[in-house]
């Protein structure tokens, strides 16, 4: 809970700083009359709006589960990231429209030096805030903070390119470069926004994060108990920073319910301890069958019907399928 409060506090400070930076960027536009600077300022509106919703989503996601939300409120983080990505993409389209219009109206850029210095300062601030949010988001597994951090980092790099563009205009005198740079920035911004939307929709649709699932399976396989004969039908669903996993684990058929429950508790405790995140398990206990003997590593099994043949490594390729395993060269069906 302390980490959650710290995330909320960090997001609040970033939101306040974003409002100040937005004001400075619009001041830079008023000084230079640059469409590229205006594009950067318009994206700042997105930053502040999305930051406000991100703060709200972090507060909501921190609420404990209740009867109406038995899995908690973490899904709101995907909605927050999708909203931010959509607003970023829309801002990109608006910037393109404004830049094309400026190509025909012939707006002249002036006082470039002062404007470039002001915009460069906002870019440096966004760089620092983006690195902070991304780092905290990855450590706490918060998609909202990570998406916000990536957005601010992209804004910082865009600002750096913008400053370079303003300097190019200053030294070449080619005013049309302003609109060209604005359109290029807008295309980059829109692409990043669509990527955020795609990732968020995947989370809302319970798309498996193969990297996360692979890490969890590796942890279980590395600390495998001989009584855990087999694991299959492995599925991972993300609710914000919390993971919900359901799978089937094959145990010796003669285990009592108490013994089986103890083994499942060991597995859950292992993942929660070694993964560094909150993981909730829903595990179906399967009894072993005769063909399980070929992959069972219990050396003191009193009812073994076939010799041990091969240890089946637990990887995504082996645990995602909904079937028990057996050694492929043991003459048994897989």
What mean pLDDT is reported for the chain? Answer: 81
Q: Please state at what angle helix 2-32 crosses helix 112-140, rounded to 10 degrees.
A: 160
Contacts of residues 205-212 at CB distance under 8 Å and 24 or more positions apart, as own/partner, are 206/237, 206/238, 208/235, 208/236, 209/236, 209/238, 210/316, 212/236, 212/238, 212/243
- Give the model's confidence band at 332: pLDDT under 50 very low, under 70 low, under 90 confident, else very high: very low
| Same domain membership, residue 219 and residue 189 | no
Backbone angles phi, psi at 200, to 5 degrees: -70, -40
| Same domain membership, residue 169 and residue 65 | yes
Dist. CA 300–CA 158, nearest whole Å: 64
> What is the DSSP track for 70-82?
TT-STTHHHHHHH
Number of domains in the chain: 2
Strands 279-287 and 230-239: unpaired
Dist. CA 130–CA 184, nearest whole Å: 21
Q: Is residue 144 part of a domain?
A: yes
Dist. CA 130–CA 124, nearest whole Å: 10
At which of 204, 238, 265 does a domain end? 204
Looking at residue 334, what is its pLDDT?
Answer: 39
Q: What is the CB-side half-sphere exposure of residue 77 using CA atoms within 13 A? A: 27
The model's pLDDT over 61-97, given as tens digits with 9 standing for 90+, comes to 777 777 777 677 777 777 877 877 787 787 777 777 7
- Full strand arrangement of the beta sheet holding 279-287: 230-239, 242-251, 279-287
Q: How many CB atoms lie within 10 A of CB 113?
A: 12
Mean pLDDT, range 86-113, rounded to an integer = 71
- Quote the percentage of the chain above a pLDDT of 90: 18
CB 10 within 8 A of CB 133: yes
| Same domain membership, residue 231 and residue 153 | no
Put simply, whether the predicted model's pTM sits higher than 0.75 gets the answer: no
| Same domain membership, residue 192 and residue 244 | no
Q: Supply the range of the domain harboring residue 280.
A: 210-319
| CA proximity to 227, closest of 185, 255, 268 | 255
SS3 249: strand
At which of 178, 204, 230 does a domain end? 204
Give the CATH number for residue 28: 1.20.1510.10
Chain-centroid distance, C-alpha 213: 14
The model's pLDDT over 233-253, given as tens digits with 9 standing for 90+, comes to 998 887 766 788 889 999 999
Q: Is residue 232 part of a domain?
A: yes
Which carries the bigger pLDDT value, residue 43 or residue 126? 126
Which range has highest mean pLDDT (99-103, 221-225, 242-246)?
Answer: 221-225
CB 34 within 8 A of CB 178: yes
Looking at residue 250, what is its pLDDT?
Answer: 94
């Amino acid at each position: 809970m302390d980490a959650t409060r710290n995330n909320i506090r960090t997001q609040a400070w970033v939101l306040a700083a974003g409002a100040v930076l937005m004001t400075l960027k619009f001041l830079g536009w008023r000084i230079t009359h640059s469409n590229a600077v205006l594009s950067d300022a318009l994206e700042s509106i997105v930053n502040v709006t999305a930051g406000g919703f991100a703060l709200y989503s972090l507060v909501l996601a921190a609420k404990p589960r209740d009867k109406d939300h038995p899995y908690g409120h973490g899904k709101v983080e995907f909605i927050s990231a999708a909203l931010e990505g959509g607003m970023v993409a829309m801002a990109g389209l608006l910037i393109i429209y404004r830049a094309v219009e400026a190509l025909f109206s012939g707006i002249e850029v002036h006082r470039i030096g002062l404007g470039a210095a002001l915009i460069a300062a906002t870019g440096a601030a966004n760089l620092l805030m983006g690195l902070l949010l991304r780092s905290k988001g990855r450590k706490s597994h918060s998609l909202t903070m990570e998406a916000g951090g990536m957005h601010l980092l992209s804004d910082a790099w865009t600002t750096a390119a913008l400053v370079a563009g303003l300097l190019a205009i200053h030294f070449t005198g080619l005013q049309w470069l302003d609109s060209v740079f604005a359109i290029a920035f807008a295309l980059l911004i829109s692409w990043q926004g669509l990527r955020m939307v795609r990732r968020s929709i995947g989370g809302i649709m319970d798309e498996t994060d193969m990297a996360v699932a692979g890490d969890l399976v590796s942890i279980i396989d590395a600390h495998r108990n001989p009584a855990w004969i087999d694991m299959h039908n492995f599925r991972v669903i993300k609710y914000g920073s919390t993971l919900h996993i359901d799978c089937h684990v094959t145990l010796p058929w003669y285990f009592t319910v108490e013994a089986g429950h103890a083994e499942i508790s060991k597995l859950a405790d292992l993942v929660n301890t070694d993964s560094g995140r909150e993981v909730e398990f829903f595990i179906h206990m399967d009894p072993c069958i005769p063909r399980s003997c070929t992959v069972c590593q219990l050396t003191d099994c009193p009812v073994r019907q076939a010799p041990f043949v091969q240890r089946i490594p637990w990887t995504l390729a082996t645990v995602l399928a909904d079937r028990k395993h057996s050694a492929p060269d043991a003459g048994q069906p897989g």
